[in-house]
Structure formats: C-alpha cells, structure tokens
Chain A
Amino acid sequence: MSPRPAMRPDEATAVLARHRDLFDESLRARALALGGPLGLFGFTIFAIWWLEMPLAQIWQGLASLAKFVALMFPPSTGGHLDLLLKAMGETLAIALLGTLIATVIAFPVSFLAARNTTPHAAIRFVVRRCLDVIRSVDALIWALVFVGVVGLGPFAGILAIAVSDTGALGKLFSEAIESADERTRESVLASGGTGFLAVRFGLLPQVLPIIAGQVLYFIESNVRSATIIGIVGAGGIGLQLSEQIRTYDFDQVAFAVIMILITVAAIDWISGKLRFAIIGRRAVA
C-alpha cells in the first residue's frame, strides 16, 4: 500500500470550505456546552440567595448532627421490640394491600386509557388526565385526607397507598397494553372470536407478565413509602420513627432504621427472584 500523499494547504482550505457547516455546528454545540453549566451555576447562586440559606448555621448544625450520630451507637430497642415488630408488620401489610387494591382498580381503568383498547379517544384523554392528577398528589397528602375519613391507623395508610398508586399503575399498565403486539389479537378476531375473546387470548397473555413484574416492583417501593406515612398517623413504623427523632432517642432511631434496611433488602431479594421467575432475566434488566 502506497503512503497517502500529504494534503496541500490549499486543499485543506478547500476541504474546510466544503464542510464549513460541520465546524459551525460544533461551535454552536461548544457554546451550548459552556452556556449550560454556566446557566446552572448562575441559577444555583440565585437559588441559594433566594432561599436565604443560613450559611452561618451550617457548622453548628453539622456539630449537632455529629452528636446525633454519636448518640445512635449502640442501637437499642428501648425495651419495646414487640411494638417495633408490630409496626414493621403493619408497614408490610400497608404496602401489600395498598398495591393490590391499586392493581385491582388500575387494571380495568388502564384498558380505557390505552390507545388500542379504549372505546373512544375522548374517554382515553379524560381517564389519562384523571390518572395524572391522582399521581401528582403525594401519598402523604392522601394519607392525611384518609386519616380524616377512617381515623388514625394502618387502614388509612392502605387507602392512601391504594389511591396514589392507582394513578401510577394505571399509566404503566396502559403503556404495557399499548406496546403489545396487535397481530395476536387480530388473529383471534379473524378466526371469529369476539372482542372480549380477543382481549382474553390475544392481549392478556402478552401483558400479564409485564403487569406482574410492575406490581412486584411497586410492592417493593411501597415498603419504602409505607415507612413514612406513619408520620401523619396512618400506621406503620413511621410513627415510632418520627416520635423517636422528636424526643432525641437516636439509639432507637438507629434500631428502627436498621430494621427497615433489613426488611427492604429481604423484600428486594424475594421480589427479584419472583420477577426473574415470571418474566425471565432479560426483561428484568
């Protein structure tokens, strides 16, 4: 192979002239790459100024935070292990029942919100907006509302999780239905099946594994959210946690946090195994 002749300067200018737009584009990208971080930085400074951060108190705060952490060791049950265990059980029950109720409500609703199964585009639009509104209100706010309806206790927490997750699950389910392969449904219809049979044998076998995976994932993440709704009195370990933090019993806080960590890790592990069994490794990743 003969070596390539070196490019003469006038050729280089010609090449540059021919591909001017490429270089210009990169200049613009460079300006963006510089301007983006600068904008972020400027907005950060503005935000710190606007929120009137107590920069002077930070050191003092860090010192008291260090004191809290020192108080956490050794973790102790404070003599009411049974109470904590009961609260943890409540948390698990809230997560499980809340998610299941949400699933039962969201499943039929999602057919109305999916493009390929909705009876009318207008219905789809209205249902979607309702799901969006439900979703944008945090579970904790629903918990506050339900404490007012059914009184203090885990039942309010179950209802709060059920309502707030109906929004999220309805959206996810309808997306799963929309991404299903249409051909199996058409083949059921072509062989004389009714619309119901087409959904039962053409659509459900495709979406059920996806839905099951998502439900498991939500049970998992709801164990995390169920730990906090106790702060407003809706059952679960959050009540104990917030009381202990307010009374500076940090050794008990540490114990409760360790309990949450272990439980969540265990639930993660179990639901990971189950998801693997249902949809296989590829879909999990």
Chain B
Amino acid sequence: MPSSLPIVSQARLEVLVGDYQRVVMRRRRQSFLVLAILAVLILLAGRIGEVDLNNLVSNISNFTSYFGRIMPKLSVAHFGADVADWYWNINGWLKLLFDTILIAYLGTLIGAGGAFLISPLAAANLAPSTALRWSIKRVFEFCRTVPDLVFALMFVSAFGLGPFAGILAISIHSFGTLGKLFTEALENIDMKPVEGVRSTGGRFAEIVRFGALPQVMSTFASYTLLRFEINVRSGSVVGMVGAGGIGQDLFVAIRKFYYTDVSAILLMIIVCVAVIDLVTERVRHRLSGQEVRP
C-alpha cells in the first residue's frame, strides 16, 4: 500500500515505545498511590465509624420490610375509604405543609435580603475597605458552616417553640450561603459599567446600583429561587427540634412507629418539593435566558 507517511526506524520506535511506557508507568504508580491512601483512609474511617457489615446484613430485612410496613393498605374495593383512612389527618398536615413553605419563604426572603445588602461590601472589586470585606466574608462562613438545626435548637430555647425559630435559623443559613454566591457573582461582573459610573463621580451606592446590579440581578434571583427549593427541604426537618412546620409530625410518626402516617407525610413532602422544583426550574431557565452579560 503506497503511503506518504515515512516509516519510523526500528531504533527510533524503541525509543518512542520506551518513553510511552515510562509515562504510563508513572501514571499507574500515581494512581496506585492515590488508591492506597484512599484505602487507608477508608479502613480508618470504617473503624471510627463503627461500620458493622454483619449488623447491616442481619438487619437489612428491617430496612426493606420498613417500606412494606409504611405502605398503606389500599384495596380496589374500598379505594376511597382506604385513602381517606390513610390520610386521616389531611387537613392538619396540609396546614403544616403550608406552614413549612411559608417558613422557607420567609427564611429565604430575609436571608436573601440581607445577603443582597451586604454582598457588595464583600466583593473584591467593589468593596470600599479590605478589613470590612475580610470580616464580612468570615461572617458568611460562620453562618453557613454552623448547621441550621443548631441555630434552630438555640432559637427554640430563646424564642420558644414555633415557626419563628425555624424562620430565623433558615434565614441565617441562607444568608451565609447566598452571601457567598452573591459575592462571587459580583466579583465576576464586567467592570466597564462600574468604571463608567465611577468616572462620572458616582459614590459607592450609585456604583453598585447602576454599574453592578443590572448585570447580576437575574443571577441573584436564580440563586435565591434555588435556595428556596433547598429551604423547603430543610423547612421539613427544623420541625424535628420544635421549630414549626411538618417536621414535628413526621418525627413523631417515625419515632412512635405510626407507619402509614410516615408514608403519608413523606409522600406529601416529596410531591410538594417536586412541584416547587418544577416551577422554580421553569422560572430559572427564563431568568438565565435574559442574562444581560455577554
């Protein structure tokens, strides 16, 4: 077969193959090292974490039968009556679920509002003071690292049982995460409009309002919606420590083995989260469609 490619000489070929094998060997050694470290870490974590596979194997039937037990007894013959029996407390649960959504709504709103106001002071390209910027970043970090349930527990002690503690806990956590995300969005903006406003003598507030915000508003809104979705989920657990919402009833149902109640409440939460997911995803897609940034 005629070919325009030159034939590689045997000696040259050996050099090339040798080089190739050396590179492959080096990569293999590296992967082996990584795997070895990982294996040691897994063994160590297994010891500390009291992993007991025998326990799991002997009790896994508990887990699978759990799902059998929480299934409601529905029959075709009296389907309506069975469903009514399963959802015997539908009005109470619907109210609690609505409470949960409102807790998530207020928590998101307060957290996003706070993050919106503070984040320009924390963005490297806008911040008027480095010391202030550094301390705000630490505050964001603190708010998102301390788990929201810990805040919820403390607020329940301070403000008493009820949704107020849950709203505060969720809003502090949202403030931390959204603050970080908003700051990063602000740090990625196009600086030309900012310089334009600055060159005409704008002060900090005007620079942020007319130079930076128009570029990031849709991103902010999209992050906030995403956070709302997440907060509906966490709103369903803050009730476990008495901070309002449907978590309280779910906790009681699981702990006291009211099996069909567990499935009824879980199904409601899942459907609710799925609907909110769908709606906010639509809105977020529309928002990201009208990005003004190039």
Name A's B-contacting residues (CB within 8 A).
Answer: 40, 43-44, 47-48, 50-51, 53-54, 57-58, 61-62, 64-65, 68, 86, 89-90, 92-94, 96-97, 100, 132-133, 136-138, 140-141, 144-146, 148-151, 153-155, 157-159, 224-225, 227-228, 231-232, 235, 238, 241-242, 245-246, 248, 253, 257, 260-261, 264-265
**Is B121 close to A, CB under 8 A?**
no
**Is B125 close to A, CB under 8 A?**
no
**Is B194 close to A, CB under 8 A?**
no
B274 A150 Cβ-Cβ under 8 A: no
Please encode chain B, from 88 to 125, with 1 for each CB lying within 8 Å of some chain A CB and 0 for all others: 00000000001100110110010000000000000000
The chain B residue with its CB closest to the CB of A157 is B49
B240 A150 Cβ-Cβ under 8 A: no
A136 B269 Cβ-Cβ under 8 A: yes
B49 A228 Cβ-Cβ under 8 A: no
User: Which chain B residues (24-83) contact chain A, with CB distance < 8 Å?
Assistant: 41-42, 44-46, 48-52, 55-56, 59-60, 62-63, 66
**Is B149 close to A, CB under 8 A?**
yes
A89 B154 Cβ-Cβ under 8 A: no
A155 B52 Cβ-Cβ under 8 A: yes
Provide the main secondary structure of the chain A interface. helix
Cross-interface CB contact of B49 among A64, A132, A158, cutoff 8 Å: A158
A97 B46 Cβ-Cβ under 8 A: yes
Distance, CA A106 to CA B244, complexed state (A): 33
B42 A136 Cβ-Cβ under 8 A: no
The chain A residue with its CB closest to the CB of B234 is A138
Cross-interface CB contact of B51 among A97, A140, A144, cutoff 8 Å: A97
The chain A residue with its CB closest to the CB of B164 is A53
A224 B51 Cβ-Cβ under 8 A: no
| Set of chain B residues within 8 Å of A132, measured between Cβ atoms | 274, 277
Contacts A96-B42, A137-B269, A159-B56 given; does A235 touch B50 at CB 8 Å: yes
The chain B residue with its CB closest to the CB of A212 is B34
Cross-interface CB contact of B145 among A44, A92, A100, A260, cutoff 8 Å: A260
| Set of chain A residues within 8 Å of B87, measured between Cβ atoms | none
B142 A261 Cβ-Cβ under 8 A: yes
Distance, CA A48 to CA B106, complexed state (A): 8
B164 A54 Cβ-Cβ under 8 A: yes
Q: List 7 A-B contacts (CB under 8 A).
A: A44-B105, A51-B99, A65-B158, A145-B254, A148-B254, A150-B55, A158-B51
A89 B48 Cβ-Cβ under 8 A: yes
B250 A141 Cβ-Cβ under 8 A: yes
| Set of chain A residues within 8 Å of B158, measured between Cβ atoms | 61-62, 64-65, 68
The chain A residue with its CB closest to the CB of B95 is A50
Distance, CA A89 to CA B48, complexed state (A): 7
A51 B103 Cβ-Cβ under 8 A: yes
A228 B51 Cβ-Cβ under 8 A: no
Distance, CA A150 to CA B254, complexed state (A): 15
Cross-interface CB contact of A155 among B51, B147, B149, B274, cutoff 8 Å: B51
A154 B145 Cβ-Cβ under 8 A: no
Nearest-neighbour CB distance to chain B for A89, whole angstroms, equals 5
B52 A150 Cβ-Cβ under 8 A: yes
Sample of 14 more A-B contacts, CB < 8 Å, known A145-B254, A224-B147: A51-B103, A53-B164, A57-B160, A86-B48, A93-B46, A93-B48, A94-B49, A138-B233, A140-B149, A146-B63, A149-B59, A149-B63, A231-B240, A261-B142
Distance, CA A170 to CA B150, complexed state (A): 29
A97 B162 Cβ-Cβ under 8 A: no
B164 A155 Cβ-Cβ under 8 A: no
Contacts A141-B254, A246-B153 given; does A148 touch B66 at CB 8 Å: yes
Distance, CA A93 to CA B141, complexed state (A): 23
Cross-interface CB contact of B106 among A47, A253, A265, cutoff 8 Å: A47
| Set of chain A residues within 8 Å of B46, measured between Cβ atoms | 93, 97
Cross-interface CB contact of B150 among A96, A141, A144, A228, cutoff 8 Å: A228
Nearest-neighbour CB distance to chain A for B244, whole angstroms, equals 7
| Set of chain B residues within 8 Å of A92, measured between Cβ atoms | 45, 48
Cross-interface CB contact of B66 among A44, A48, A89, A149, cutoff 8 Å: A149
